[in-house]
Structure 1
């Protein structure tokens, strides 16, 4: 296994991004494949699926969101988006289109590597390999629908549990407000972000060591929430 370099496909039309990313990813033990257009990227995924994809939303030939949707039809692995700063709606749409995470340009290689590692790890969790998720002294058994804290049973309402399990299944992925509202309350409540704040508050009271300084359920301002699995912090 150690000789297997994880293959990262970078889909971006800016040569300087490839010049900057290629050597940095290779220095960290990844094999890098480059594509300059959405069509090239999709062809590369179809031919030999990589271990992860880095996708710039600003491509010359196709809308990056369309590339994301088409990639998802054939590729279940992690996709991390590169997005210009201040494009909140674009990032939210990408997450709702099942991107794993996003990094804002300009970005540091350290940040991108951390997001890639977390996405690779969390895809394994989401594939159903671990029905029991542990964070600190909290244990969530998604099969038995049981939550314990330091061995004590944590009583959650059906809605609280539904929200928690949705966040946990996200496994470190940013879950948007609209995704969580649809999943837990159904379509007609997709505007009621206030509901979500209240229920996240309940969960933090029951699970966080210090609910005012959450370390398990993190707020992603203007976007949604992220559940921190062990080791995904940073």
Structure 2
């Protein structure tokens, strides 16, 4: 099947938080003049956004990368690996194990994705046009949207590798989250799904205390008939204030 020289394809593995990251990469690429393909065979740039939370996720990521690399050999395509696998093991280590991959992308490289994609493919994309970029990078999916309220985690659970992969807790300002929620509600969203590595820790780093109840209240103030769903709550963070807020907004 012929492929377009400015089309990309993203295979997103793992949890909804990774889907938000994939949406961000899509937004950045489209701002740079790329178009998203429905199938890998239709694209020049093939991106695998990986998960490495547990051994099974690492194995799935490696298998998926190798499958995508098979397509690379069948046409003039380039393969980019991004996400948790790169953050956990490092680009240099993975490059020695997976020489078929053209570029390994860490979280801090996402804002340079357009230029990196052009440099990898050797092609020329359209000029950067901010007015063509979506205001927020998440994607509205059949009435619901994932909204990431923070990145990283402050906890040091012995069973979890997330802090070493995603780094410490970094919350978004409540005004920014509320603005994103309002933006999607005005475009037809009926369910707002709040995600983070640990949603109950939201705001502790910037407001001095866990502020998820406050954030929910601010979102609930918005106009419209919609539902708020909160995922990835740590049991230690579920207290009386959060339960009271949940009852009030129902």
Please indicate, yes or no, whether the TM-score normalized by the shorter chain is above 0.5: no
TM-score w.r.t. structure 2 length? 0.36
TM-score w.r.t. structure 1 length? 0.38
Q: Which has the higher strand share?
A: 1
Larger RCO: 1 or 2 (CA < 8 Å, sep 6+): 2
